[in-house]
């Protein structure tokens, strides 16, 4: 019996990956092949298995990577080969997405398929621009219309004489090139010239742009501003509501391209916060967190001393980073658990590190008011460290001020490497190109190592000559000092040395 695969025709939504459906995620996760369009968010591809084949079949302004009949043929071939195929199409594949044509081709070839509807740009993009396509008091009906019909048609099938005055809100998808024809036909068939019109480009993404006018003047405004596709056009009185309801483009960091230099494993909190405020994060991880070059022998030996009956043990364990917490407990939990820490006091350099302990059911005994080594030293001296045994599991290379000052105060300090940060050299060429093209607005540094590696990776690029339009923001004075020592201009330093503090500082700088 022939083993046929399944093709999932998935609506990828309007652009914001947060608007993608849970069913769509499930389908991508089990796909052998992902076939995706120009308007499908590339972030959705991250759900695909590492071994999945990714096939781009995008169509952009007449530049077609693959003709529609070839796309259908590809889906059939993959399905007949017994593969699971996730076909990603922008918006909803059955609303001007030609998904019906692909479904028919699969049906005729006997290939099983399923349709996974997506959120259509026809109503979601206007919503992100502050325009409800229906609203009591304005209109109770809406029509979705293609902005460009099949060019092989002998004549238009759009009933201009009926839709022009017969429907309250008209939404034209992908009609920028035909805008003159659209507005002309509407006015010629009775729609008043003063009817409000809005064009929304790259809707629901941080690149969103909106231009408004009337049927009489919108064509001129679009030409004058250089407004280009991809965009949708909304015609109707509901466009007036944008004046009160616009929200997406008003967020404090909207459209700002912000470089995130943290390691990819740690970047999610900062990236998420930036996205919520409207920014477009550009992930450029300058460091990777890896096992210490010498292995975990020193850390394991310290943990053995913690467990030893009648052994020296420790009075304090001081954690200076989330990575230190994560790797310490990975090693501790191999042959034991948190109960091994009974009787010891725990310190955390800041709230994120403290939270990492709390997730393990541990409440730190000490968190300094300022989240840097100097404040830890001051607090520990007040608690009394003379004669105390202090373990500090941390990065292999770090500032020596903390162990040195504690030792000078009479503490018996042992520093063990729990992890190592190494240079991550991926993406350096692309970052140079973006900086050269003026495509970066803000660069963030969350540690001295991210600064050092950033400068190393961009060796030969004149970072001291970055234009004033590029803001450099550091998480605290130590990181800022490293940046200045390396010749960088520092524009912002977070008052609270945390990721939320850095984000708050960025927002304050935009007001």
Joined tokens for residue 363: 């409440």
d(CA 303, CA 298): 9
Instruction: Tell me if the bond preceding 402 is cis, omega within 30° of 0.
Output: no
Residues ≥6 apart with Cβ < 8 Å to 211 = 198, 199, 201, 218, 221, 222, 225, 227
- How far apart CA 453 and CA 455 sit, in angstroms, is 5
Helix/strand/coil for 243: helix
Query: 154, exposed or middle or buried, with CB in 10 Å at 0-12, 13-18, 19+?
Result: exposed
Rg (CA), the chain: 29
Q: How many angstroms separate the CA atoms of 129 and 207, rounded?
A: 12
Strand, helix or coil at 452? helix
Q: 455-481 as b/e, with b when 16 or more CB fall inside 10 Å? A: bebbeeeebeebeeebbbbbbbebbbe
Our answer to whether residue 250 is catalytic in this structure is no
Residue closest to 506 by CA, chosen among 487, 495, 490, 492: 492
* Calpha distance 45→266 (Å, rounded): 20
Residue in 4, 23, 59, 177 annotated catalytic: 59
Instruction: Output the 3-class SS for 326-340.
Output: HHHHHHHCCCCCHHH
CA 31 – CA 376 distance, rounded (Å):
50
Tokens 């105060």 locate to: 409
> Among 494, 473, 476, which residue's Cα sits nearest to residue 256?
473
If one counts every other C-beta atom within 10 angstroms of the C-beta of residue 22, the result is 8
Alpha helices in 41-139 (DSSP H): 68-80, 99-109, 121-128
Point out the catalytic residue in the list 16, 78, 174, 441.
174
Query: 59 catalytic, yes or no?
Result: yes
Contact assessment for residue 267 and residue 283, using Cβ atoms and an 8 Å cutoff: yes
Q: Is 37 a catalytic residue?
A: yes
Catalytic residues: 37, 59, 174
């Amino acid at each position: 019996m022939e083993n046929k695969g399944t093709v999932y025709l998935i609506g990828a939504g309007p652009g914001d990956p947060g608007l993608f459906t849970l069913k769509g995620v499930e389908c991508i996760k089990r796909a052998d092949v992902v076939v995706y369009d120009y308007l499908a968010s590339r972030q959705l591809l991250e759900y695909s298995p590492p071994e999945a084949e990714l096939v781009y079949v995008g169509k952009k302004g007449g530049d077609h990577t693959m003709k529609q009949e070839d796309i259908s043929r590809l889906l059939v071939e993959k399905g007949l080969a017994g593969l699971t195929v996730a076909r990603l199409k922008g918006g909803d594949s059955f609303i001007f997405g030609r998904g019906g044509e692909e479904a028919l081709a699969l049906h005729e070839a006997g290939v099983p398929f399923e349709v996974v509807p997506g959120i259509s740009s026809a109503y979601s993009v206007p919503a992100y621009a502050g325009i409800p396509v229906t609203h009591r008091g304005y209109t109770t009906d809406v029509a979705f219309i293609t902005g460009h019909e099949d060019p092989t048609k002998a004549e238009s099938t759009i009933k201009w004489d009926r839709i022009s005055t017969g429907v309250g809100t008209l939404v034209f998808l992908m009609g920028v090139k035909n805008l003159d024809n659209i507005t002309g036909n509407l006015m010629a068939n009775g729609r008043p010239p003063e009817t409000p019109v809005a064009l929304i480009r790259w809707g629901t993404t941080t690149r969103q742009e909106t231009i408004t006018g009337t049927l009489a003047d919108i064509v001129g405004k679009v030409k004058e501003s250089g407004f280009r596709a991809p965009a949708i056009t909304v015609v109707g009185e509901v466009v007036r509501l944008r004046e009160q309801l616009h929200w997406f483009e008003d967020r404090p960091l909207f459209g700002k391209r912000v470089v995130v230099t943290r390691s990819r494993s740690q970047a999610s909190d900062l990236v998420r916060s930036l996205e919520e405020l409207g920014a477009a994060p550009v992930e450029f991880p300058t460091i990777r967190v890896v096992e210490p070059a010498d292995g975990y022998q020193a850390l394991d030996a310290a943990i053995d001393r913690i467990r030893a009956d009648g052994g020296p043990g420790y009075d304090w364990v001081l954690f200076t980073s989330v990575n230190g917490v994560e790797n310490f407990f990975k090693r501790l939990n191999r042959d034991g658990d948190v109960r091994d820490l009974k009787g010891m006091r725990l310190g955390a350099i800041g709230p994120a590190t403290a939270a990492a302990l709390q997730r393990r059911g541990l409440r730190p005994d000490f968190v300094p008011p300022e989240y840097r080594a100097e404040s830890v030293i001051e607090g520990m001296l007040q608690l009394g460290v003379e004669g105390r045994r202090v373990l500090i599991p941390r990065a292999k290379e770090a500032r020596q001020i903390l162990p040195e000052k504690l030792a000078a105060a009479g503490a018996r300090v042992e520093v063990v490497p729990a992890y190592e940060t190494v240079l991550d050299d991926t993406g350096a060429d692309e970052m140079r190109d973006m900086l050269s093209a003026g495509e970066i607005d803000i660069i963030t540094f969350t540690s001295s190592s991210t600064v050092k590696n950033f400068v190393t990776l961009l060796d030969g690029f004149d970072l001291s000559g970055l234009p004033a339009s590029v803001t450099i923001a550091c998480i605290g004075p130590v990181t800022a000092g490293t940046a200045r020592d390396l010749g960088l201009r520092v524009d912002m330093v977070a008052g609270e040395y945390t990721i939320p503090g850095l984000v708050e500082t960025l927002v304050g700088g935009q007001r």
